[in-house]
Structure formats: C-alpha cells, structure tokens
C-alpha cells in the first residue's frame, strides 16, 4: 500500500528515490528523485520534467535556485522527526524563493508532525511505514486555526 | 490584560484534544517513549524523580484572579495542594498523575491558560518586567509586544523543533527588570530621536552550563519589524545551530562560532527578505494590543470599602514600616503602589504557594489590585495596582496568609530551583540549603542593615536558580555521589549584567551558612556608608573574600 499523502489522500508514488551512491540511470519514462549533489553533476543530461531533487537538512539551496521553475519535485529528508531544519528549508523555498512545485517531506515523517509540516509549506508526505493511515489523514485537522503570521 | 479571541480559544481547545489523543496512544503502547517525549515536553510535562511534573505557562507573568483561583483548584484536585512559581514566571505542579494531565489542560483552557511550549526545544514562555505598565521609569509598556510575540511563537510551525530551547525577554523600563541580557533574545524598548518606538536587541545570553551575557545585535529595531527580525534570527539559528551536542546547541554557541559580526550578517540577509513582508506589524495591530493593557491608575479606587481600617495607628508599627520599606514599590501614580507578596518565608521552599494562599491572593487582588497578579522572576507575586490608602488592609491580609515577610531584595529573598528533592536533572538538593540560610539569617535588623543582596541557588549546572547572576551564587555539584556546593560572588542582572566568579573549592551543605556569614563579615567591614554588597565586591575584588573563607590555604 502506498504511504504517500497528497491533497488529503493516499496516492501511488510514481517517483523512484535514488540514494547518494546510485547512478542516475532512468529506464525510459521513469521519474527519479536524485540527491542534490548527483542532480548538480548530471543536470544538463537529465529530463527536467522527470527529475526531482532531494535535500538533506544541511544541504545548501543555492545550486537549485536558478532552476527552481523547472524542478517538478523537491523532497526534504527528515533523518529524525526532531530535526527541525527541514521546516526552514521548506519555508525558504516557498516564501523567499517562490518554489511552486511539489514539496515532499520524507524520512521520519510521523502523524504528529503533519499539521506543522503542511503549515511550513509541504504538500506531500511520505509517511514512515508504521504510521496508521486513518490517523495520518485526520492529523491535518489537528487544529482548526491558522498560525499568526504566514506569507 | 489580554483576553482570548475565538481563535485563541480554539487553539487551546484543539491542543487539549490533540494532547489527549497523544497521551492515549502513549498509554496504549502505540506511541513510543522516544516519540512521545518531545510531544509531552512541548506541553510542559516532565517525568520527574517522584511523579510527573506539569509546568503551566503564565505568559509574561500576568495572571487574573480567576486564573489564580483555577491554579489553586488544580493544586487541590490534581496535586498535593500547592504549586511552585518558577524563575521563568511559570508555575509547576510536582505531583500530577500522567493520565490526568489532559484533564488538567482542559481545566486550564477554561480560563485561557495552557502548558504549550513550557518545555522542549522550542520558543518558551515570553518574560518581562513584573512592574510592566505601572513602573515609574517606564519608556514603553512591553506587554502589548509580549502578547504579539506570544501569539507569533505559539505553535510557530517552523520553530517547533529547534536545536535547543529558546527564551525571549522584553523589557520597557529605564531599568532592566527582565534580565534581557541573559536570554537567547533580549529586547529593550527604546525611542529614537523622533519619538518612534523600537527595540535594542541582545542575542546569545543565557545561564546554564555555558553562561554568557548577551551581545548587542541591533541598537534600534523599529517596532513594526519585531516579528520579521525575530523570524530571521530564529531561522538562522534553526538552520545552523549545532544539533550534534545538546550542550553546545544554544544560540549563544552559534553566535560565538560565527562571531557576532558573522551571525549579524546572516540575520541581516534573512531580514532583507522578510523586512516589510506579511508579518510586518501595523499601527492598527499596536493599537488593538495596547487597548488590552489600558492603565488602571486612572480608574477609581475600589468603592465598596470605606478606606478600610485607618492606617494611622500603623504609622509607628515597626512591622508595617519594614514591610512598606521592602515590599512596596513606587507606582507611576502617586496615589498607588506596587506590592510584592513574598514567597520567601523561612521554612517554605522559595516560590511555593499553597492552594489556600493562591485563593487568598486572588481575593486580595480582586479587592485591591484590579484583579491582577504578576509573577516575578525572583519567584514572588506582585499586586501592581494598589491604592496607597489600602496598604494597611492589604498588609494585614497578606500577613494572615504568611505572605508579608518584609524581605524583598534582601538576603533571605533568595531564588532557588526545586533541586534534588524533585528534579531528576539535579546533582544536589537546593531547598534544604535555602532553608538553612534563611534560618541562620532570620534577624530582620541584620538583614535590613546588610541592604540589597541577591542570593541565587541552583541544584545543577542547568542553572534554573540563576546562580550566575546572584550577588552570591550557590551551585550544587556532585562529587563521588556526594552533594557539594560551589560559591560565586559578583554576579548581577540588569544594566551591568555580569557573571559571578567562583571563590574556590566547593563546600558541604552544612558549611554554607558559615561561608555566607564570612562573606557578609568581609562586606560589612569593608563597606563605606551606603555601599551595597555587590558594589563592595566590584571595588575590592575576590581576594579579601577568599582570604576570609579559606584562610591561609587560599
């Protein structure tokens, strides 16, 4: 069963995740999510529409900035749910740099953080495998309130 | 006082429901201890030595009498009949039951209170001057800004998982009574040459394991930029603060690593983007917030009381005049006064109040102080709006409650954490040491003669008792499973904020009153007319004190 939530429902994930040590060799038509360094090294030869980038919490945003309009998906990895750096990366991408593509939280993504992740600008969520599906969907409604300042 | 709007109420109600669900999953074994811990800490719930401890937020230390009665009610029904007011102006209940915490939070929500962000690696309760709004030396009432920052920081999605805890203090007096330079961010209100309001921003102060006095980051931040600028600071910290070592994770370490100039550059870069953006505060927002904190000193004094029992027979009463000298402070209005109720009676753990006392204080506040109470970071309670003609009646009422000890600002008004009797972080007990000091120095003539003296005591390096900024500081340490106490002198808060210096090897608990006695003797013999303890320490240095305490061995 898919563990990916987008637009308030579970959907099939049509992207393949590549770890840092894998070569970016897509089979035709396949969509890949590449580590930032691999994406930077191979970008000119890749099909932009089928290539996403994933960021570790300490990755620099600068190499992506000139290409943001062409990147369909950026994933931000949470090595552990208490590592809050990804929230600021999301906020920067959405607010400061105007990124409008899919912004996905991956890794230690738990039901109790979904509300805040969404509020920080994420719009898709690759849940950790053990998270109960129904509870996760309900979590987006933990609060009926919106934070004080957004923009 | 600020009053919740429907959105604020919704938030705390939703928070109760969310936490009830989380607690249910934890107790049902569906949420692991590691996953539950950060969630319960964000709700102020610790697992302590004897029982769970719940820390309830008292935003910028302001309580209504209705709220205080609810705290008394909670103390009675869910705890052992008392609560502990902390150095961060919150209240802790030390004997709650885990499974009842959601019910306590629901009770709090009925009086516009909560325990959100009283612990955990997030933005903690905002603190300010306990005399805010009534101090004679006030440039700007800081409370509207505290409330604005409170709303912004409450469940701020981006900043729920910072590298470490984050404390903000805001003050508006000419004198800094909020210790802004020992906070992660300290803001002091200023007016520029055109009379516009802004803030002087200090960053990277804090006590704890690596005590530091904050650095001046910006000398004038226009008030409308307050949130944009705070957001810039928090974002730089959230992204670049160390997460590999919790002892090096506070913002002060980042400021030190980047250098003040380097850190300031990062903040300016972030601020350049947020500046003038959607979180910029409008004049309308300021007016809206200021209206909640309208001054009480223009209101007529309570009418139901015919100037109570006359004070004239008290004019020569020594106890009353001592209380007036120590516990009554100037109000901006000449016909009013600010009264501090001492939670430092000898034999009672500093900062503790029983449910009966809380109810009694609520009653006094209702009759004499426009229904309002403040918590000071020295762990006393303040009635900010008292008509001077009511002072005798208030004094009698406070005395009946055991809250009129005339020791505010004196040696026995000591600040003290719960220590090893309660706290699982502590290396040593602090309450018995505090009690021994209070018992030794219970002679009021002597205390008055010594004059202003701040003594702070912490049971471990986390420094909840703020020992670094005590004129005399005592730190409990563990040596081979024995409790020892290290003594510092020369610390102070406020304008000349400084960290105390260790006088030498640590002492056993039983030696501490003697050591204090010796320090005081050096002071008394060295002082000039009217010179305070801290001034003597600054003038003559540590050596004479060391020589007296350690003798030839020093």
Give B264-293 pLDDT, tens digit per residue.
999 999 999 999 999 999 999 999 999 999
- Give the residue from B258, B283, B308 where a domain finishes: B283
| pLDDT averaged over every residue in chain A | 91
Q: Domain for residue A88, yes or no?
A: yes
Query: What pLDDT is stored for residue B226 in this prediction?
Result: 98
Q: Domain for residue B120, yes or no?
A: no
Q: Domain for residue B114, yes or no?
A: no
CATH number of the domain residue B372 falls in: 3.90.480.20
In terms of domains, do B69 and B215 share one? no
Instruction: Spell out, as residue ranges, where chain B has pLDDT lower than 70.
Output: 49, 295-313, 315, 552-554
Interface-testing mutation among A55, A85, A110, with chain B (most B C-beta atoms within 10 A) = A85
A61 Cβ under 8 Å from any chain B Cβ: no
A85 Cβ under 8 Å from any chain B Cβ: yes
CA distance B133 to A7: 48
SS3 label, residue B160: coil
Q: Domain for residue B351, yes or no?
A: yes
pLDDT digits (tens, 9 = 90+) for B472-508: 999 999 999 899 999 999 999 988 889 999 999 999 9
Q: By residue range, what is the domain housing residue B366? A: 317-400
Strand order in the sheet with B127-128: B127-128, B168-171, B185-191, B197-203, B215-222
Q: Domain for residue A80, yes or no?
A: yes
A147 Cβ under 8 Å from any chain B Cβ: yes
What is this model's ipTM? 0.95
Q: Domain for residue A147, yes or no?
A: no
Query: What pLDDT is stored for residue B328 in this prediction?
Result: 97
Cα B293 to chain centroid, rounded: 20
Task: Count the neighbouring beta carbons within 10 Å of the beta carbon of residue B202.
Answer: 24
Q: Domain for residue B243, yes or no?
A: yes
In terms of domains, do B350 and B466 share one? no
Cα separations (Å) of B277 from A18, B224, B227, B229?
Answer: 37, 10, 10, 11
Q: How many domains does chain A have?
A: 1
Interface-testing mutation among A121, A145, A146, with chain B (most B C-beta atoms within 10 A) = A145
In terms of domains, do B396 and B419 share one? no
Interface-testing mutation among B109, B158, B227, with chain A (most A C-beta atoms within 10 A) = B158
Q: How many domains does chain B have?
A: 4
In terms of domains, do B132 and B279 share one? yes
Chain length of chain A: 151
In terms of domains, do B525 and B452 share one? yes
pLDDT at A150 over 90: no
In terms of domains, do B233 and B266 share one? yes
Q: Domain for residue B1, yes or no?
A: no
Label the pairing between strands B381-387 and B336-341: antiparallel
CATH number of the domain residue A133 falls in: 3.20.20
Q: Tokens 């719009």 sit at which residue?
A: A123
Interface touch A112/B22, C-beta < 8 Å: yes
> pLDDT grade, residue A3 (50/70/90)?
confident
In terms of domains, do B528 and B438 share one? yes
**CA-based radius of gyration for chain B:** 23
Interface touch A110/B35, C-beta < 8 Å: yes
In terms of domains, do B164 and B245 share one? yes
Q: How many Å lie between the alpha carbon of B277 and the closest alpha carbon of chain A?
A: 8
Q: Domain for residue A146, yes or no?
A: no
The residue in chain A having the minimum alpha-carbon distance to the alpha carbon of residue B239 is A85
Q: Tokens 């705290």 sit at which residue?
A: B71
Q: Domain for residue A149, yes or no?
A: no
- Give the residue from B283, B307, B336 where a domain finishes: B283
Q: By residue range, what is the domain housing residue A48? A: 4-139
In terms of domains, do B466 and B507 share one? yes
Nearest-by-Cβ selection for A151 from B7, B243, B279: B279
Q: Tokens 């201890």 sit at which residue?
A: B33
In terms of domains, do B138 and B269 share one? yes
Cα separations (Å) of B522 from A78, A109, B303, B369?
Answer: 58, 61, 52, 41
Q: Domain for residue A18, yes or no?
A: yes
Q: Domain for residue A95, yes or no?
A: yes
Cα separations (Å) of A108 from A79, A112, B134?
Answer: 6, 11, 49
Q: Domain for residue B57, yes or no?
A: yes
* pTM over cut 0.80: yes
DSSP per-residue string spanning B362-430: HHHHHHHSTTEEEE-TTS-EEEEEEEGGGHHHHHHHHHHTT---S-TTSTTS-EE--GGGT-SS-SS--
Query: Phi/psi at B470 (nearest 5 deg)?
Result: -75, 145
Q: Domain for residue A62, yes or no?
A: yes
Nearest to B40 by CA among B58, B59, B53, B49: B53
DSSP β-bridge partners for residue A54: A35, A75
């Amino acid at each position: 069963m898919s563990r990916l939530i987008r637009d308030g429902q579970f959907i099939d994930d049509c992207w393949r995740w590549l770890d840092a040590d894998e070569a970016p060799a897509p089979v035709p038509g396949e969509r890949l999510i590449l580590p930032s360094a691999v994406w930077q090294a191979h970008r000119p030869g890749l099909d932009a529409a089928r290539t996403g980038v994933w960021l570790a919490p300490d990755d620099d945003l600068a190499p992506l900035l000139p290409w943001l309009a062409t990147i369909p998906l950026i994933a931000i990895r949470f090595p552990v749910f208490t590592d809050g750096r990804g929230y600021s990366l999301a906020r920067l991408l959405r607010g400061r740099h105007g990124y409008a593509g899919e912004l996905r939280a991956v890794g230690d993504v738990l039901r109790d953080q979904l509300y805040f992740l969404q509020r920080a600008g994420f719009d898709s969520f690759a849940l950790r495998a053990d998270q109960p599906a129904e509870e996760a969907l309900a979590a987006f409604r933990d609060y009926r309130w919106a934070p004080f300042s957004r923009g | 006082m600020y009053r919740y709007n429907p959105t604020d109420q919704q938030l705390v109600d939703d928070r109760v429901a969310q936490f009830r669900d989380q607690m249910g999953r934890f107790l049902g074994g569906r949420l692991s201890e590691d996953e539950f811990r950060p969630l319960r800490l964000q709700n102020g719930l610790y697992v302590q030595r004897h029982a769970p401890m719940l820390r309830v937020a008292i935003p910028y230390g302001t309580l209504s009498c209705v709220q205080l009665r609810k705290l008394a009610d909670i103390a009675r029904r869910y705890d052992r009949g008392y609560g502990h007011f902390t150095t961060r102006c919150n209240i802790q209940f030390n004997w709650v039951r885990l499974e009842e915490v959601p019910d306590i939070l629901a009770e709090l929500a009925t009086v516009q209170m909560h325990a959100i962000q009283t612990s955990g690696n997030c933005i903690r309760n905002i603190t300010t001057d306990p005399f805010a709004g009534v101090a004679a030396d006030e440039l700007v009432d800081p409370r509207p800004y505290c409330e604005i920052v409170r709303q912004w920081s409450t469940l701020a999605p981006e900043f729920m998982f910072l590298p470490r805890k984050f404390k903000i203090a805001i003050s508006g007096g000419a004198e800094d009574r909020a210790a802004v330079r020992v906070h992660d961010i300290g803001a002091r209100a200023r007016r520029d040459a055109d009379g516009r309001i802004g803030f002087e921003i200090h960053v990277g102060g804090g006590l704890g394991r690596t005590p530091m006095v904050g650095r001046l980051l910006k000398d004038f931040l226009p008030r409308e930029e307050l949130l944009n600028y705070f957001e810039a600071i928090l974002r730089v910290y959230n992204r670049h603060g160390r997460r590999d070592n919790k002892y090096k994770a506070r913002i002060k370490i980042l400021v030190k690593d980047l250098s003040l100039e380097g850190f300031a550059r990062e903040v300016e870069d972030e601020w350049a983007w947020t500046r003038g953006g959607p979180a910029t505060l409008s004049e309308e927002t300021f007016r809206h917030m200021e209206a909640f904190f309208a001054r009480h000193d223009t209101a007529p004094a309570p009418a139901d009381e015919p100037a109570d029992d006359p004070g004239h027979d008290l004019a020569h009463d020594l106890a009353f005049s001592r209380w007036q000298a120590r516990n009554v402070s100037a109000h901006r209005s000449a016909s009013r006064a600010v009264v501090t109720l001492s939670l430092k009676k000898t034999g009672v753990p500093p900062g503790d109040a029983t449910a009966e006392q809380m109810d009694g204080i609520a009653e006094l506040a209702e009759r004499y102080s426009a229904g309002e109470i403040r918590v000071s970071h020295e762990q006393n309670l303040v009635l900010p709006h008292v008509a001077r003609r009511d002072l005798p009646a208030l004094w009698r009422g406070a005395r009946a409650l055991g809250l009129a000890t005339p020791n505010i600002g004196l040696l026995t008004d000591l600040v003290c954490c719960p220590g090893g009797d309660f706290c699982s972080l502590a290396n040593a007990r602090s309450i018995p040491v505090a009690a021994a000091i209070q018992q030794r120095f219970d002679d009021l003539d002597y205390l008055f003669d010594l004059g202003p003296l701040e003594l702070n005591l912490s049971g471990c390096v986390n420094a909840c008792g703020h020992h670094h900024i005590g004129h005399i500081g005592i730190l409990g340490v563990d040596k081979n499973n024995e409790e020892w106490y290290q003594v510092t002198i020369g610390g102070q808060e406020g304008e000349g904020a400084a960290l105390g210096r260790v006088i030498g090897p640590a002492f056993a608990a039983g030696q501490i009153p003697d050591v204090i006695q010796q320090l005081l003797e050096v002071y008394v013999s060295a002082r000039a007319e009217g010179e305070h303890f801290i001034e003597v320490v600054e003038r003559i240095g540590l050596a004479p004190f060391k020589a007296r305490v350690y003798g030839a061995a020093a």
